[in-house]
Amino acid sequence: MSKTAEIKFEDKTYKLPIVVGTENEVGVDIGKLRGESGLITLDPGYKNTGATTSAITFLDGEKGILRYRGYSIEELAEKSSFLEVSYLLIYGELPTVPQLTDFQNQIKVHTLVHEDIKKILEGFPSNAHPMGVLSSLVTALTAFYPESLDPNRSAEKVNLSIIRIMAKMPTFAAWAYKNEIGHPVNYPDNTLDYCGNFLKMMFALPAEKYDVDPVIASALNKLLILHADHEQNCSTSTVRIVGSAQASLYASISAGINALWGPLHGGANSAVINMLENIRKDGGDTKKWMAKAKDKDDPFRLMGFGHRVYKNFDPRAKIIKKAADDVLDKLGVNDPILEIAKGLEQEALSDPYFVERKLYPNVDFYSGIIYRALGIPVDMFTVMFALGRLPGWIAQWKEMRENNEPIGRPRQIYVGENLRAYKEMNKR
Ligand code: CMC
């Protein structure tokens, strides 16, 4: 007999089905609870609420485990390419050689964007934040491909939308950067692979030969893989919830980009570098800044520390910390903020405030140091995160659609005024 949980309220007991995942995670299905008892569950920030069952990413925050479709993040980061991982996330299996070649070729066909999108880009002032530019250009795709507006079209048509956005996001991201620095944009170079093409669009200068540095391309490949999915986080939940209203893929991804922008989510990678730079300029006294982070009257938080689900360590941070050392070493970069970051981590690991609250470096703590060494400016860091997270968002949107999930619509407990009589303005 399948297991149930019970809720006793007043003089009645309600039996609730138990859902068990393939990794033995256990959830109480409260879907019928309100209908039977009038009760809802209250969980601000969805700290303990499963919004879906999903077969994409497995994460165990206590043990520091992260797997995409059953493959460990450590192995994927070591052995695969970003497009291979994207294929895995979106279609469920690692590709064969012909499948990957076909996927790459399909993407190459769509890297170019409509010239009129350039006009939209040119309408942005140069100080526009590239995340705002990116989300706007992704939304603009709905105008250039109106057939994408209907997510109920054939699987083939939906797949075309998927390929298009995979192909065009690097172009948008690089163009947002070029717009910011006032340089002419570079068009995609389809002789290069995904990362090489992006780097060339970012850094090639007019009339100068640009050779992709294999160290930089490989570091970028690893960073994108590490960011590719992270189950039901803020931006992914946003993508799923927007998509659940049958909004198009592009509208849903654009919403995800905006959610990611926040400093408590993807925006943390820029915030970390700004913080480390401030500490450096302030003389590098890490103890002073640790004290600020612990002071409840001070709004300062140690950016890049803490995580909603990782309460032991973030496996991505472990890989990135090692990669940061390797990349800086290979590129011959000596960045003083790397030492400040390591000093902060060392202190936090033995500080009761951080130990008791299980606050460890997260993926964003060291990623910015690598981006900086690769020559990527700070306000582009979150764009890089978005580029990496794109296949995850697509996979989650696709899964939500294929599972026919209902529109997302949480409930609330109302705590405002009870019914009161309207008073004419002159009597208030
Ligand atoms: N510095 C100082 N104190 C902290 C920090 C921090 N970075 N993070 C959490 N705390 C404290 C917090 O003040 C609270 O203390 P108390 O129990 O005394 O009130 C306790 O730890 C629990 O924090 P919380 O805010 O309730 O935890 P949460 O799960 O709601 O928030 C978080 C998680 C990531 C938003 C938070 O740790 C944070 O703001 N970190 C800094 C921003 C950051 O690095 N974000 C990137 C996350 S990883 C990338 C991604 O996937 O988005």
Which mutation among 46, 301, 302, 360 tests ligand 1's pocket best, with the greatest number of atoms within 8 A of CB?
Answer: 301
User: Per the domain annotation, does 28 fall within a domain?
Assistant: no
Q: Whose CA is nearest to atom 27 of ligand 1?
A: 308
For atom 21 of ligand 1, the residue with the nearest CA is 357
Does the pLDDT of residue 44 top 90, yes or no?
Answer: yes
Tens digits of per-residue pLDDT, 132-189?
999 999 999 999 999 999 999 899 999 999 999 999 999 999 999 999 999 999 999 9
Cβ-Cβ contacts under 8 Å for 56 (sequence gap 6 or more):
68, 69, 89, 229, 231, 392, 395, 396, 399
Q: Give per-residue pLDDT as tens, 229-264.
A: 999 999 999 999 999 999 999 999 999 999 999 999
- Tally the domains of the chain: 1
**301: which DSSP letter?**
-
In a domain, 45, yes or no: no
Specify the residue with its C-alpha closest to ligand 1, atom 16.
Answer: 357
Using a 6 Å cutoff on CB, does residue 303 contact ligand 1?
A: yes
Judged against a pLDDT cut of 90, whether residue 53 lies above it is answered with: yes
pLDDT band, very low/low/confident/very high, at 1 (cuts 50, 70, 90) = low
Ligand 1 centroid, distance to 306 Cα (angstroms): 5
Whether 209 maps to a domain, the answer reads: yes
Atom of ligand 1 nearest to the CA of 306: 37
Ligand 1 centre to CA of 390 (Å) is 24
Q: 100 in a domain, yes or no?
A: yes
pLDDT (average), residues 382-390: 97
302 lines ligand 1 (CB under 6 A): yes
Instruction: Please report whether residue 25 resides in a domain.
Output: no
- Could you report the per-residue pLDDT of 279-327, keeping only the tens digit for each? 999 999 999 999 999 999 999 999 999 999 998 889 999 999 888 888 8
Q: Which two tokens stand for residue 2?
A: 């399948």
Residue 32 lies in a domain: no
pTM value is 0.94
Q: Average model confidence (pLDDT) for the chain?
A: 95
Average pLDDT over residues 194-217: 94
Catalytic machinery residues: 307, 364
The pLDDT of residue 313 is 86
Q: 48 in a domain, yes or no? A: no
Rounded to the nearest angstrom, the distance between the alpha carbon of 307 and the centre of ligand 1 is 6
- Would you say residue 13 lies in a domain? no
- Ligand 1 atom with minimal separation from the 45 CA: 30
What whole-number distance in Å separates Cα of residue 274 and Cα of residue 268? 10
Q: Whose C-alpha lies nearest to ligand 1, atom 42? A: 264
Q: For ligand 1, atom 50, which residue shows the shortest CA distance?
A: 265
Pocket test for ligand 1, best of 261, 357, 393 (most atoms within 8 A of CB): 357
Tokens of 97: 């050689």
Whole-number pLDDT of residue 312: 84
Average pLDDT for residues 198-227, to the nearest whole number?
94
**What domain range includes position 358?**
96-412
CB 276 within 8 A of CB 26: no
2 — pLDDT class (breaks 50, 70, 90): confident
Pocket of ligand 1 contains residue 265 by CB under 6 Å: yes
Give Rg (Cα) of the chain.
Answer: 23
> Containing H/E element for 28?
strand 26-28
CATH number of the domain that 105 lies in? 1.10.580.10
